[in-house]
Amino acid sequence: MPASRPRSEQSVPRSPDAPLRSFGRIKSRAVKPRQAALFDTLMPLIRLPDPSAGPIDVADLMPEATEAWLEIGFGGGEHLAAQAAAHPHALMIGCEPFINGVASALRHVEEGDLKNVRLHDDDARAVVEALPDASLDRVMILFPDPWHKARHNKRRLIQPAFAHELARVLKPGGRLRFVTDWKDYAGWALERFLATPGLTWRADAAADWRDAPADHVVTRYEEKRLGDTDPIFLEFEKA
């Protein structure tokens, strides 16, 4: 029997009230047989509950977890897997609509025998909306689609309403990390996060946004250097 079709590959009509899609293609090439099989065997075990079904209780996902982290757009899953391995006490929620990226992440989870990862193979905004107030210790957004043409800026993930939602789900003292290799998007995101009540930019000198944080994990995407600048690291804290 062929592997079941991943949820994000299924054709779902877009609601007229849904936000504009903030990501590009959801599939590039055929998924390798081993990874495709993981959609049948592993994904059902670690898939996040459907956010459209109601609120997501983070404590139910991993009762023994002492922290809860969210990575939005985890790409191939290298960063997510590395953070999960380094912080086994923390629940790692990863959201990624790109099917090939989810397949790669499943491989990393299996090979690392990672028990603290939960995946959502669709739009992260629905997950954030379903999370309770002050439920996350960290949020990481690494190299989101820049939509760098001016007419496409409205499709960027970071918009005022979503920035407010991210602040809502962060605990007091929780951290939000945004990384991009596009100068314009860095300025765009900084402006919107600074305008978000409760978020404080943790930067005192240029090195704070030019140098990678100590726990940053370089991914294959970052190594490609597809943007117009070196990576810019913006770190915020919830008051």
**Sequence ranges of the binding site for substrate:** 149, 181, 219-222
Q: Burial of 149 by CB count in 10 Å (0-12 exposed, 13-18 middle, 19+ buried)?
A: exposed
Query: 154: which DSSP letter?
Result: G
Partnered with residue 119 across adjacent β-strands are: 47, 94
Check 145, 184, 215, 230 and give the catalytic one: 145
Q: Which two tokens stand for residue 72?
A: 């939005």
Indicate if 184 belongs to the active site: no
Q: Which residues are annotated as a binding site for S-adenosyl-L-methionine?
A: 71, 96, 123, 145
CA angle 90, 174, 201 (to 5 degrees): 140
Q: Which of 109, 125, 121, 123 has the alpha carbon at shortest distance from 6?
A: 121
60 Cβ partners below 8 Å, 6+ apart?
Answer: none
Catalytic residues: 145
